[in-house]
Amino acid sequence: MLRKPRRFFSLFGAVAGICVLLLLWTGLCAAGTIFFYKDEHGVMHFTDTPTSSKFRPFLSLRSRMGSSADRASITRYVEQYSQRYGLDPHLVMAVIEVESGFNHQAVSRAGAQGLMQIMPATQQDLGLAEPFDPAENIEAGIRYLKMLIDRFPDLSLALAAYNAGPANVERYNGIPPFRETQDYVRKVTTNYDRRRAARN
Which amino acids are annotated catalytic? 99
For residue 142, give the H/E element and its range: helix 134-151
Q: Which residues contact 84 (CB under 8 A, 6 or more apart)?
A: 142
